[in-house]
């Protein structure tokens, strides 16, 4: 009886819903649709789609390489579009089921893609395979449009599930817009008050003193608000109720002047203000919040913000600061509490200027500093030592590779240190000691490319023993591939692959740097020496040839002397020229030459040699008979 009542109710709801079973989610020959959380709340015509077999079983492409059956992703259907099986080319129900099966098998081999291969394209392929309505041009666009036009909601609850979140968001957004616009003072309030006063004055009606005082006060406030709106700088919008002045994307070249006295917040973004001059914020003593993001600011001169004696919050993010005067951040009384410099430093010189500005600025009251997204590779030692009351320091999304001793010196009140998304491969002993000196604070170290090798053992030990509040679940290995995405905390030496315990570092970082520098110097000297040799190659070749010839002459002389001294036929010749008379000596030498010429063979000649040499024997080579 209950099933009959339910069938009657379904038939009363939609006439073509007779063969469907809403309770069991059976919709034969239908295309079904259900909303996707959040996405369908914003765009209610976008959702998850599936196609049913002739038995009403839902097949939908619910994820990469997965087509669910009778278990539709994102919940039960809220809309259905009943198709006509008679428009299927072929054998009706059999062709329908075969097309749904073939399309499902095909999409079990495909990854899910929001733009091309999604649940809508799965249904479109099934319709194209069965040539529904004699067409093969079904696609995700016409399916989305036609299901929105011809689709019918399963019930009123399904209708509310589809459209209520979207209507609620529209209502909240409309309320916010109306509230925001009604905050501006309107001159018709003044006109209404004056009209009432003129009416009572014309009719002679008595207005009580209290009523007159109340209306006078209202008139005074309205006049003040209206005059404040009239004093709003050109290109800006002023809101007296929220005490805000907005100058957004107006192509301003300088900071607007004549800001209303009631203003407490000044928002100047999306302009072309390249320089902050000393008088840029004159007569803005009451302003406490200034937002100067994305203005292409490149220079901050001396005492740029000195007139803002009540400044609490300063946002300079998204600029291109290349020149920062040492006293650019100097404000009497040190009222500044929050400073946002994310994505604002143009180069390393700007970091050096900022370090000097933090030292000379006297920012003793600064509580929060954001330096994220500035591609910082290193932090100068003692950079934050002149910020004694700093509580939050954000250094995320930079290129930091190491922390050195003294980097965070003088920061006794620090509570949060964010070092996520940098280039840390590990932390050496010096860096771990520096982090330990910060005490029991919150330190964020996740999303860094940690290399899980033997050198990371000290860092793993520190993670297990540190008393700081760490995001240990986000500290994971990036390499090697075998340990990728492995938590460092609790990682053992055996898991890393070290056979022996990790030893202390052999050399200090300074010593290693010295060796590298020495090698570079020696290499440079060697290159210069080789270059000089190359330039003087011809002269050196000539000098080498001359030295060779000179040495050859000397050696030949010694060789000839050795041959004469070693000849037994010349051994009786005396080299003594001192005894006897000169004539007798000459006669003796003549007789010796004569006797020597008679004794020597015909192929030997005697030549006159110096006194330190004997006789040179030259042997003629007999001619060759050819």
* Cβ atoms 278, 306 nearer than 8 A: yes
Residue 459 to residue 427: CA distance in whole angstroms: 6
Give me the pLDDT at residue 18, please: 43
Enter the tokens of residue 562: 């050795």
Closest C-alpha to 428, from 519, 502, 348, 516:
502
Is 245 in contact with 260 (CB distance < 8 Å)?
yes
Who's near 200: CB < 8 A, 6+ residues apart? Answer: 206, 207
Which residue bears the tokens 């030496």?
Answer: 493
- State the Cα–Cα distance between residues 453 and 488, nearest whole angstrom: 11
Average pLDDT over residues 377-392: 91
Non-local (6+) Cβ contacts of 621 within 8 A are none
- Give the chain's radius of gyration (CA, Å): 49
Specify the DSSP element, H or E, that contains 546: helix 537-566
What are the φ and ψ backbone dihedral angles of 608, each rounded to 5 degrees? -75, 125
What pLDDT band is residue 495 in, cutting at 50, 70 and 90?
A: low
Report the share of the chain in percent with pLDDT over 70: 76
Report the alpha-carbon distance of residue 196 to residue 192 in Å, rounded: 6
Measured CA to CA in angstroms, residue 143 lies from 34, 161, 481 at distances of: 14, 21, 44
Neighbours of 442 (CB within 10 A): 15
pLDDT for residue 590 is more than 90: no
In whole numbers, what is the pLDDT of the chain averaged over residues? 79
Question: In this model, does residue 220 exceed pLDDT 70?
Answer: no
Give the Cα separation of 314 and 369 in Å (integer): 10
Q: Model confidence at 393, in pLDDT bands (50, 70, 90)?
A: very high
Who has greater pLDDT, 602 or 469? 469
Per-residue three-class SS string for 474-539: HCEEEECHHHCCCECCCCCHHHHCCCCCCCCCCCCHHHHHHHHHHHHHHHHHHHHHHHHHHHCHHH
HSE, CB side, 13 Å, CA atoms: give it for residue 217.
5
Gap between the terminal Cα atoms of the chain = 140
CA torsion angle 261 342 176 262 (round to 10): 0
pLDDT confidence of residue 211: 54
pLDDT at 305: 92
Q: What is the model's pLDDT at position 596?
A: 45
More confident residue, 609 or 153: 153
Residues 7-61: tens digit of each pLDDT: 343 333 333 444 567 777 888 999 999 998 888 888 888 889 999 998 889 999 9
Q: Is the dihedral of CA 22, 25, 28, 32 positive or negative?
A: positive
User: Is residue 130 left, alpha or beta, with left meaning phi > 0 and alpha meaning psi from -120 to 50?
Assistant: alpha
Q: What's the pLDDT score for residue 126?
A: 92
Residue 562 C-alpha from the chain's centroid: 84
Res 112: pLDDT: 85
The mean per-residue pLDDT over the stretch 71-99 comes to: 88
Residue with the bigger pLDDT between 196 and 333: it is 333
Tell which phi-psi region holds residue 400, choosing left (phi > 0), alpha (psi between -120 and 50) or beta.
Answer: beta
pLDDT digits (tens, 9 = 90+) for 95-119: 999 999 999 999 988 888 878 788 9
d(CA 625, CA 621): 12
Kindly give the residue spans of alpha helices, DSSP state H, lying in 74-208: 92-107, 119-129, 140-150, 156-182, 188-203
Q: Kindly report, as residue ranges, where domains of CATH 3.80.10.10 are found in the chain.
A: 367-517
**In CATH, which of 3.40.50.1370, 3.40.30.10, 3.30.565.10, 3.80.10.10 is domain 367-517?**
3.80.10.10
Distance of alpha carbon 598 from the chain centroid? 105
- pLDDT recorded at residue 210: 46
Chain length of the chain:
626
pLDDT digits (tens, 9 = 90+) for 436-491: 999 899 999 999 999 988 888 889 989 988 888 999 899 999 988 888 888 888 77
Where residue 557 falls among pLDDT bands split at 50, 70, 90?
confident
Residue predicted with more confidence, 486 or 206: 486
CB 266 within 8 A of CB 292: no
Rounded to the nearest 5 percent, the helix, strand and coil shares of the chain are 40, 15, 45
**How would residue 607 be classed by pLDDT, with cut points 50, 70 and 90?**
very low
Strand duo 368-370 + 338-340: pairing: parallel
308's tokens: 């803002």
């Amino acid at each position: 009886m209950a099933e009959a009542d339910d069938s009657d109710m379904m038939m009363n709801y939609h006439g073509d819903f007779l063969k469907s079973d809403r309770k069991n989610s059976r919709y034969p020959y239908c295309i079904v649709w259900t909303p996707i959380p959040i996405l369908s709340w914003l765009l209610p015509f976008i959702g998850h789609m599936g196609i049913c077999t002739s038995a009403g079983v839902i097949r939908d492409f619910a994820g990469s390489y997965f087509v669910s059956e009778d278990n539709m992703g994102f919940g039960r259907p809220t809309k259905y579009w009943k198709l006509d099986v008679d428009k299927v080319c072929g054998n009706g129900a059999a062709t329908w089921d075969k097309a749904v099966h073939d399309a499902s098998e095909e999409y079990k081999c495909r990854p899910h893609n929001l733009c091309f291969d999604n649940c809508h394209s799965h249904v479109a392929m099934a319709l194209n395979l069965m040539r529904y309505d004699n067409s093969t041009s079904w696609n995700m666009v016409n399916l989305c449009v036609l299901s929105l036009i011809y689709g019918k909601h399963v019930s009123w609850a399904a209708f509310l599930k589809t459209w209520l979140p979207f209507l609620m968001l529209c209502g909240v957004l409309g309320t916010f817009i109306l509230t925001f616009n009604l905050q501006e003072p309107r001159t018709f309030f003044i006109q209404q008050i004056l009209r009432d006063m003129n009416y009572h004055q014309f009719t002679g009606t008595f207005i009580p003193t209290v009523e007159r005082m109340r209306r006078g006060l209202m008139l005074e406030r309205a006049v003040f608000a209206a005059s404040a709106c009239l004093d709003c700088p050109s290109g800006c919008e002023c809101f007296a109720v929220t005490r805000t002045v907005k100058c957004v994307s107006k192509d301003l070249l300088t900071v607007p002047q004549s800001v209303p006295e009631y203003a407490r917040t000044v928002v100047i973004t999306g302009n072309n203000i390249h320089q902050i001059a000393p008088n840029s914020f004159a007569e803005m003593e009451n302003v406490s919040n200034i937002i100067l993001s994305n203005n292409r600011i490149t220079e901050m001169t001396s005492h740029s913000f000195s007139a803002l004696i009540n400044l609490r919050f300063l946002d300079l993010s998204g600029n291109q600061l290349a020149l920062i005067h040492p006293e650019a951040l100097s404000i009497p009384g040190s009222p500044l509490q929050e400073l946002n410099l994310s994505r604002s430093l143009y180069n390393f010189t700007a970091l050096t200027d900022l370090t000097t500005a933090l030292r000379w600025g006297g920012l003793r009251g600064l509580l929060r500093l954001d330096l994220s997204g500035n591609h910082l590779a290193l932090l100068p030692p003692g950079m934050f030592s002149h910020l004694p009351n700093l509580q939050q320091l954000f250094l995320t999304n930079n290129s930091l590779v190491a922390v050195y001793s003294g980097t965070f010196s003088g920061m006794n009140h620090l509570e949060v240190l964010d070092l996520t998304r940098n280039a840390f491969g590990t932390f050496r002993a010096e860096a771990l000691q520096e982090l330990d000196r910060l005490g029991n604070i919150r330190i964020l170290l996740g999303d860094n490319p940690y290399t899980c090798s033997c050198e990371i053992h000290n860092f793993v030990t520190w993670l297990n023993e540190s008393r700081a509040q760490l995001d240990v679940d986000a500290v994971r290995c990036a390499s090697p591939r075998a340990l990728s995405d492995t938590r460092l905390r609790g990682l053992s030496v055996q898991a890393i692959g070290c056979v022996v315990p990790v030893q202390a570092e052999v050399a200090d970082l300074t010593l290693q740097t010295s060796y590298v520098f020495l090698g570079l110097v020696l290499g440079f000297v060697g290159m210069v020496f080789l270059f000089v040799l190359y330039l003087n190659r011809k002269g050196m070749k000539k000098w080498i040839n001359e030295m060779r010839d000179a040495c050859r002459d000397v050696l030949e002389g010694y060789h000839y002397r050795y041959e004469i001294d070693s000849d037994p036929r010349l051994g009786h010749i005396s080299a003594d020229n001192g005894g006897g008379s000169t004539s007798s000596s000459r006669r003796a030498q003549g007789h010796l030459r004569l006797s020597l010429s008679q004794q020597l063979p015909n192929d030997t000649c005697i030549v006159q040699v110096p006194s330190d040499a004997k006789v040179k024997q030259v042997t003629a080579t007999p001619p060759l008979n050819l």
